[in-house]
Structure 1
């Protein structure tokens, strides 16, 4: 009965809107509109509460406290006024109990967050509600301002907009809640020094969780890959896992490929070497066993033994730096050294 009643009210509200004279809204019209909205929202919430009571779950709403109940009804009235169907709202709240609790507890804040999603992610309110319902237990502890500031961090840097922005947060929801904007900003600023703007955009869109990682560790990994392996920004941007490997895993994979003759430092005068080298995706994005068998072309057990030997050597050497640090001004000299070393090795083999 409650469902039928608020559906009738909602239909009346829609008819009333359609019949209103354009640009001529009187005070009595606004009052009537508000009354219908309030009645429809009240019946909707009562219907949801009744359904939960039938399932043995109790909700106590402050019906006698006008201010408190207005606050609880606020998001429902606003959404109904936007044309959201009451049956959709009822179904969403019954499907996700936490969503209903959040809406009656922090109605104004929740509605503002829904609006932020709609305006920034180019989505309708129904999809906005679905998105919030998926993460409501975490988002309810945030404020609209904190959510907007995190979104602005990415849109303001031109990393994504609209649907692309939405996909970033869907891939890594942690970026929306619990993350510190200042730390993410520092991380983005740091890695923007490594990559061209287009490549940075590719990385953030493919692997947005990079913004939550330690920028100092990222710098160490990037410097090794750039200086010691010779990969440039555009090439590394295609890999989705280099940032998740620890530094020693990167070094060990590279070392094994050097030992097995599967990788050579790129030489502009010998472009064939670069063509024959495995790509960053193959080196960094391949699981351990497949890396051993398909990339390095050794048995998996041999790879495990090699890693153990590398670890033992590191413990014995106890170096302050895990690899030779190369300043940008020293890169050409470093490349000449590598080239001479490779040519000497090739001469010995011949």
Structure 2
């Protein structure tokens, strides 16, 4: 025997029904109360209107759900509404990341709870999901891997890791080796410490953009790598003036250069990086053929160490 009942969803206008669910009719009331309610009717325009979507929004949401063939869209929408997102924000999330249609409500809720445990409180969590909805489809294991790298390899505090994830959630998809390289470049080559990296949202920039802006200043004699005591012969510009400004402001107030000069330099840097990539690939292939460690040969080792210092990252190989 099955009985039907209406599932309420809390929205700004109060409790409104959006879907029909069925649950087994059992003699034991305690087991009945623990039953998992699952939508068994497809998402309809009527149910979307009852959730608070406008007619236009409901039609677009319904069309997206049909294209994705998601079987758990009602439960996903429920989780997002309970999180405090309004229908307009939810529609934008679905437009940015259609993969959310294919999620299960329980999986989505599990990922939301995990982000909360990482320190992303209300307000920050909603902004993060709205700005970067892909965080909802990334496996929890991936989030933990990035968090562990930032804490253990880059020595950020737990709070600093939370700040990085909140301000630059794109790091969750970045290649781990490249992410560590970016940190090492800023730390050793530019002399920037963790607190300043977080404050200036360094991880929101690509590695190529970071290197280009820094090296352009360096080759113009306007930036110098600090020594072991953190001292330089010139006054380096603050990191916020290098990274947190528009290209126009950077060129006119920091680099004191023209747009043409910077763009030519950008092309030269891209060519240098391409050549470095080919050299690394060639060296790797050559070492495999010879069966030798590239760091054991004196001449090649000196050249290699110099090359790594020029790129800002002396990578440990274990």
TM-score by length of 2: 0.62
1:166-315 alignment to 2 at 5 Å? Answer: 166-177=126-137, 179-193=138-152, 194=154, 195-240=156-201, 242-247=203-208, 249-266=209-226, 276-310=235-269, 315=275
User: Structure 2 vs 1, CA of residues 34 and 216 (structure 1 numbering), >3 Å: closer, same or farther?
Assistant: closer
Q: C-alpha offsets along residues 109-137 of structure 1, whole Å, 9 cap, x if unaligned?
A: 34432443355x3x27xx2x444333445
Distance 1:317 1:217 in 2: 13
What do you get for the CA RMSD once the two structures are aligned?
Answer: 4.4
**2:79 corresponds to:** 116
Distance 1:296 1:95 in 2: 47
Q: Which has the higher helix share?
A: 1
Q: Which has the higher strand share?
A: 2
User: Structure 2 vs 1, CA of residues 152 and 204 (structure 1 numbering), >3 Å: closer, same or farther?
Assistant: same
- 2:293 paired with 1:323: no
Distance 1:235 1:147 in 2: 33
**2:27 corresponds to:** none
Distance apart, 1:151 and its partner CA: 1.9
**2:41 corresponds to:** 71
Distance 1:318 1:110 in 2: 47
Q: Is the 2:146–2:176 contact (alpha carbons within 8 Å) kept by the matching residues of 1? A: yes
**1:140 corresponds to:** 101
> Secondary structure of the equivalent of 2:192?
coil
Distance 2:41 2:198 in 1: 48
Greater Rg, structure 1 or structure 2?
1
Q: Is the 1:226–1:232 contact (alpha carbons within 8 Å) kept by the matching residues of 2? A: yes
Distance 2:181 2:44 in 1: 51
User: Structure 2 vs 1, CA of residues 110 and 280 (structure 1 numbering), >3 Å: closer, same or farther?
Assistant: same
2:61 aligned to which of 99, 108, 117:
99
User: Structure 2 vs 1, CA of residues 219 and 154 (structure 1 numbering), >3 Å: closer, same or farther?
Assistant: same
Specify every segment of 5 or more residues in structure 2 that has no aligned partner in the other structure, as ranges. Answer: 9-15, 21-38, 281-303
Distance apart, 1:72 and its partner CA: 4.4
Distance apart, 1:301 and its partner CA: 2.3
Q: C-alpha offsets along residues 87-112 of structure 1, whole Å, 9 cap, x if unaligned?
A: 75475355321434649x99993443
Distance 1:131 1:313 in 2: 43
Distance 2:204 2:171 in 1: 7
Q: What is the number of residues matched between the two proteins?
A: 252
Distance 1:41 1:327 in 2: 57
Q: Is the 2:71–2:102 contact (alpha carbons within 8 Å) kept by the matching residues of 1? A: no
> Secondary structure of the equivalent of 1:323?
helix
Specify every segment of 5 or more residues in structure 1 that has no aligned partner in the other structure, as ranges. Answer: 1-30, 46-68, 80-85, 329-350
Q: Is the 2:202–2:243 contact (alpha carbons within 8 Å) kept by the matching residues of 1? A: yes
Q: Is the 2:73–2:101 contact (alpha carbons within 8 Å) kept by the matching residues of 1? A: yes
Distance apart, 1:235 and its partner CA: 0.5
TM-score by length of 1: 0.57
Distance 1:109 1:311 in 2: 45
> Secondary structure of the equivalent of 2:141?
helix
Q: Is the 2:168–2:201 contact (alpha carbons within 8 Å) kept by the matching residues of 1? A: yes
Distance apart, 1:149 and its partner CA: 3.3
> Secondary structure of the equivalent of 1:140?
helix
